[in-house]
């Protein structure tokens, strides 16, 4: 940088009309040569050259230091992401922990091209900034959002079409538990033939949900029940089985105590065709053959996750003889337009059920964002029932909880 000299009109020339307004004219004072005429131009040194850089906006975020256990998660200050056309910046209130995040942390999967490399597939919060061309929301709106990663942060970016308003009756932290699992339900149960238009049936559809105590399992049980299905689910303990049945499962089966396929078969022997119409599976490889065996003719196995393995020797007889099919139910790698259509269906199909209190989010635990390590230890322990959340804005959560209406559960008028 260097110094240059510019002509300035003089402070007196600028301020004189202001400070002397409505004042009587004063006689001229003698020029003693000590002070320059305030109306004479003066020379000021200024710095020219490259402008001083503006500090880069920073935010707090969890990053994966290297593939490994929960301890590789670390809280750091990182650059706030910039906004592309149609995107919004969300000041995160809470984000949910999903099994995808665990697999990403372990290095078992990689983020899809174009997706954020930081963990966190969904969140809820307040829109802080709009990108070019974003018109659907305004600054200050509260939203629940589906992300392409980056939810484990104080701020997150997503396309405006991947946001929904907070469901009536819920706080932002409640709503943070919903977008990813709700989208998985729309991609699976909702796509079964006739489900979208509630086609009348002689008997209710039968659904098996593996991992009934998981975040997606607890929501899927309630959604399927609300749609008139008979729901079977698997879980690892009797205590969890009791909770699943309280949510609406017809039979919850402790897979550590009995063969779930045999148990369902026995329960459906007196129907037109034993078995289930569809399976929503989060387990993956170890149970694929059993899932196919329990399907009815033209049944569908929806692959939502692969928690316990990705490679399996499967019994292909049911696929061939019963015309069964295996379908993925994943948003990974899908276009923004495809994801936006799924989110639209979530808003139309699941949000009204939440507002009507026929579905409620089931939240096991919350942790400060900085303690993501603890959250991952809990989800890997499989001791939880429902969703696990990371709180990025504890003051907002506290204010929301204080403003939450108290439900009257009294039987008195």
pTM (predicted TM-score): 0.83
| C-alpha span between 116 and 243 (Å, rounded) | 35
DSSP 202-246: SS--EEEESSTTSHHHHHHHHHHHHTT-EEEEEESSHHHHHHHHH
What distances in angstroms separate CA 128 from CA 88, 102, 143, 154, 345, one per listed residue?
8, 29, 11, 11, 25
Task: For residue 158, list its beta bridge partners.
Answer: 88
**Over residues 313-338, mean pLDDT:** 85
Kindly indicate the confidence band of residue 285, based on its pLDDT and cuts at 50, 70 and 90.
low
Q: Show the tokens assigned to 222.
A: 């309630």
For the four alpha carbons of 39, 43, 49 and 55, in that order, the dihedral sign comes to negative
Mention the CATH class of domain 59-177+362-403: alpha beta
Please give the helix or strand (H or E) that residue 28 lies within, else none. none
Going by the DSSP 8-state scheme, the letter that residue 153 receives in this structure is B
DSSP 95-117: EEE-HHHHHHHHTSS-PPTTS-S
Residue 8 above 70 pLDDT?
no
Other C-beta atoms closer than 10 Å to the C-beta of 78 total 18
| Intervals of CATH 3.90.180.10 along the chain | 59-177+362-403
Entry field: residues in the chain: 413
| C-alpha span between 89 and 158 (Å, rounded) | 7
pLDDT (tens digit, 9 = 90+) per residue, 9-44? 554 444 444 444 444 555 554 455 544 555 555 555
| Intervals of CATH 3.40.50.720 along the chain | 189-328
Mention the CATH class of domain 189-328: alpha beta
Pick the more confident residue, 309 or 173.
173
């Amino acid at each position: 940088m260097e110094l240059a000299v510019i002509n300035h009109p003089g402070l007196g020339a600028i301020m004189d009309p202001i400070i002397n307004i409505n004042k009587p004219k004063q006689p001229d004072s003698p020029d003693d040569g000590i002070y320059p005429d305030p109306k004479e131009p003066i020379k000021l040194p200024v710095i020219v050259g490259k402008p001083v850089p503006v500090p880069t906006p920073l935010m707090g975020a969890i990053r994966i230091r290297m593939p490994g256990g929960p301890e590789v998660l670390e809280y750091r200050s990182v650059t706030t992401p910039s906004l592309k056309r149609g995107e919004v910046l969300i000041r995160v209130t809470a984000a949910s922990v999903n099994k995808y995040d665990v697999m990403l942390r372990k290095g078992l999967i990689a983020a899809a091209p174009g997706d954020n490399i930081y963990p966190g597939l969904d969140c809820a919060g307040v829109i802080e900034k709009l990108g070019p061309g974003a018109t659907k929301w305004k600054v200050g709106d509260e939203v629940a959002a589906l992300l392409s990663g980056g939810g484990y942060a104080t701020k997150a970016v997503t396309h405006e079409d991947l946001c929904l308003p907070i469901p009536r009756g819920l706080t932002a932290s409640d709503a943070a538990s919903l977008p990813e699992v709700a989208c998985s339900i729309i991609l699976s149960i909702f796509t079964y033939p006739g489900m979208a238009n509630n086609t009348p049936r002689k008997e209710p559809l039968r659904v098996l949900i593996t991992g009934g105590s998981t975040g997606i399992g607890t929501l899927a049980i309630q959604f399927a029940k609300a749609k008139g299905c008979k729901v079977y689910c698997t879980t690892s303990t009797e205590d969890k089985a009791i909770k699943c049945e309280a949510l609406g499962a017809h039979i919850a089966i402790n897979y550590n105590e009995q063969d779930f396929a045999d148990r369902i078969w026995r329960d459906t022997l007196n129907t037109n065709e034993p078995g289930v119409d569809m399976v929503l599976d989060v387990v993956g490889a170890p149970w694929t053959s059993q899932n196919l065996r329990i399907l009815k003719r033209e049944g569908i196995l929806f692959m939502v996750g692969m928690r316990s393995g990705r490679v399996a020797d499967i019994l292909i007889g049911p696929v061939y003889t019963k015309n069964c099919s295996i379908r993925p139910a994943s948003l990974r790698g899908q276009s923004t337009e495809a994801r936006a259509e799924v989110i639209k269906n979530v808003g139309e199909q699941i949000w009204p059920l939440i507002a009507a209190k026929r579905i409620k989010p089931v939240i096991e635990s919350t942790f400060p964002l900085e303690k993501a390590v603890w959250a991952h230890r809990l989800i890997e322990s499989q001791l939880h029932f429902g969703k696990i959340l990371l709180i990025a804005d504890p003051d907002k959560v506290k204010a929301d909880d204080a403003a939450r209406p108290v439900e009257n559960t009294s039987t008195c008028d």
